[in-house]
Structure 1
Amino acid sequence: MTPPILETKRLRARPFTSDDLAELVSLHRNPTVNRYLQPTNVAWDVATVKQRLARFIETQELLGFSKWHLSTHDGEFVGRAGFSLYEKTAEIEMGYTLHEHFWNKGLGSEIAQALVEWFFENTYYSHLLAFAHPDNHASKKVMKRAGFEFRETLEVDGMPCEFYQVLSPSCQKLAVPA
């Protein structure tokens, strides 16, 4: 088994492998889980999930980070969380998607805060993005708890998204409050 890259009080994050396809399919089989990931809240087919999984694995090899397999310490699959390249601006975006039965347990906030810390301890980037559909109040609350501040509203893949960003600790020291 691949060792974890990141651990929190209740969660472990490790790079995806091709063996994780069934778990990722089970996550995205639920239209409710997908409702803010695309303009239509439909279950993803296996081909779509395979494509995403291949991208996660490739990105990990290229950048040293990606979206990661998220599980409890007991090994139960929780979802995915980590980073990807937002190609329109060449910025790094943090994201997380959890199985519905793990919602409202504080796991989103737990992993988001840990991801922010990991990112700035292990990369040289000046800031990190996160975005959510305007109606995804739970996700926006998680981002704010992790230190993100609203930046702008843009359209992503035909869907409105509110963009948030958090500065690295060294950039935060240089920032002048408005």
Structure 2
Amino acid sequence: MTLPILETKRLRARPFTSDDLADLVCLHSNPVVNRYLQPTNVAWDISTVKKRLAGFIETQELMGFSKWHLSTRDGEFVGRAGFSLYEKTAEVEMGYTLHQHYWNQGLGSEIAQALVEWFFENTYYSHLLAFAHPENHASKKVMIRAGFEFRETRMVDGMPCEFYQVLSPSCQKLAVPA
């Protein structure tokens, strides 16, 4: 069993393993869950899920962080949450995707706040990105609650996205209000 990297009051996050394929297939088989992840809100096919899972595992090995397997303290799979490299700018992006039946329970805010804390306690990056489709009001609220501030709107894989960022605590001390 892989040990958790991060724990909150209700959640545990641990690196993905190849044994987690069925969990990810189940998560991304729901087009409603995927509606803001790509221009077409369709279920991901097995080859897409396998590629994503392999990428999560490889990124964890290379960078020491990635998107992680998210479960309740009792072990029920909730979704995925963590970090990835936004290659267009070489910045790190925080993201999460939860099973639909876990929405509106405060779990997004709980994991987002914990991820921000973990990131700045365990890395030397100056800031962290997060982005969401302009119509994904729930995710934008979660980002703001976690300390992110709006930065810009740009296209990501053919979809408009609103980018937010949060500065590291040491950078926040240096930032001068406008």
TM-score with structure 2 setting the length? 1.00
Q: Corresponding residue for 1:45? A: 45
Distance 2:157 2:89 in 1: 14
Which stretches of structure 1, 4 residues or more, deviate above 3 A after TM superposition? none
Percent identity, aligned pairs only, is: 89
Where does the alignment leave 5 or more consecutive residues of structure 1 unmatched? Answer: none
Distance 1:10 1:126 in 2: 28
3-state SS in 2 of match to 1:56:
helix
Distance 2:145 2:81 in 1: 16
Q: How many residues align?
A: 178
- RMSD between superposed Cα atoms in Å: 0.2
Q: CA deviation at 1:33?
A: 0.1
Distance 1:25 1:137 in 2: 25
Q: Corresponding residue for 1:170? A: 170
* Residue type at the aligned position of 2:133: H
Distance 2:143 2:29 in 1: 25
Residue by residue, what CA displacement relative to the aligned partner does 1:103-142 show, whole Å, maximum 9, x if unpaired?
A: 0000000000000000000000000000000000000000
Q: Corresponding residue for 1:114? A: 114
Distance 1:40 1:146 in 2: 28
Q: Corresponding residue for 2:78? A: 78
Q: CA deviation at 1:94?
A: 0.1
Where does the alignment leave 5 or more consecutive residues of structure 2 unmatched? Answer: none
Residue by residue, what CA displacement relative to the aligned partner does 1:62-110 show, whole Å, maximum 9, x if unpaired?
A: 0000000000000000000000000000000000000000000000000
2:128 equivalent to 1:124: no
Q: Corresponding residue for 2:13? A: 13
* Residue type at the aligned position of 2:68: W
